[in-house]
Amino acid sequence: MNNTADKFILLSLRLITYAIVLVVGYILFDIIRNGFSALNWQFVSSFPRRSGAAGGIFPAIVGTFYLVVGTIAVSLPLGVGGAIYLAEYAEQNRFNSLIRLAIITLAGVPSIVFGLFGLGIFVLFFGFGPSILAGSLTLACMVLPTIIVASEESLRAVPKGFRDASLALGATKWEMIRTNVLPYSLSGMITGAILGIGRAAGETAPILLTVAAFYLPRLPKSVFDQVMALPYHLYILATQHPEAERIRHMQYGTALILLLLVLGLSLGAILLRTHSRKKFRW
Partner 1 sequence: MVEHSIYPENQEMVITTSQVNFFYGQTQALFGISLLIPAKQVTALIGPSGCGKSTFLRCLNRMNDTIPHGRVEGEIFINAKDIYAPGTDVVELRKEVGMVFQKSNPFPKSIFDNVAYGPRIHGEKNPKRLAEIVEQSLQQAAIWDEVKDRLHANAMGLSGGQQQRLCIARALAVGPKILLMDEPASALDPKATTRIEDLIGELRTNYTIVIVTHNMQQAARVSDYTAFFYEGQLIECDQTPKIFTNPRQKQTEDYITGRFG
CB 102, min distance to partner 1, A: 22
Between CA 155 and CA 189 the distance in angstroms is 9
C-alpha dihedral sign at 137, 71, 260, 186 = negative
User: Contact 55/46 with Cβ under 8 angstroms?
Assistant: yes
Minimum CB distance to partner 1 smaller for 158 or for 265: 158
User: Which of 76, 70, 83 is CA-nearest to residue 206?
Assistant: 70
Minimum CB distance to partner 1 smaller for 127 or for 170: 170
- Of the candidate spans 56-64, 108-116, 160-168, 188-196, the one that interacts with partner 1 by CB under 8 A turns out to be 160-168
Query: Counting contacts by CB under 8 A, is residue 172 touching partner 1?
Result: yes
CB 38, min distance to partner 1, A: 47
DSSP state of 32: H
Minimum CB distance to partner 1 smaller for 178 or for 248: 178
Binding string, residues 174-213; x marks residues near partner 1 by CB under 8 A: -x---xx---x-----------------------------
Query: Counting contacts by CB under 8 A, is residue 240 touching partner 1?
Result: no
- Of the candidate spans 19-27, 44-52, 118-126, 171-179, the one that interacts with partner 1 by CB under 8 A turns out to be 171-179
CB 192, min distance to partner 1, A: 21
Contacts of partner 1 in 77-116 (CB under 8 A): 91-92
Q: Rg of the chain over CA atoms, in angstroms? A: 22
CB 275, min distance to partner 1, A: 14
Query: Counting contacts by CB under 8 A, is residue 168 touching partner 1?
Result: yes
Query: Counting contacts by CB under 8 A, is residue 171 touching partner 1?
Result: yes
What is the separation of C-alpha 53 from the centre of its chain, rounded to a whole number of angstroms? 28
Query: Counting contacts by CB under 8 A, is residue 2 touching partner 1?
Result: no
Query: Counting contacts by CB under 8 A, is residue 66 touching partner 1?
Result: no
User: Contact 138/122 with Cβ under 8 angstroms?
Assistant: yes
User: Contact 150/191 with Cβ under 8 angstroms?
Assistant: yes
Query: Counting contacts by CB under 8 A, is residue 282 touching partner 1?
Result: yes
User: Which of 269, 268, 261 is CA-nearest to residue 190?
Assistant: 269
DSSP state of 123: I
Residues 6+ apart with CB under 8 A from 47: 55, 56, 58, 59, 217
Q: How many residues sit close enough to partner 1 to count as binding (CB under 8 A)? A: 22
Alpha-helical runs (H) found in 157-247 = 160-168, 173-180, 182-202, 205-210, 230-235
Applying CB under 8 A, which of residues 108, 127, 170, 242 lies at the interface with partner 1? 170
Contact set with partner 1 (CB under 8 A): 91-92, 159, 161-172, 175, 179-180, 184, 280-282
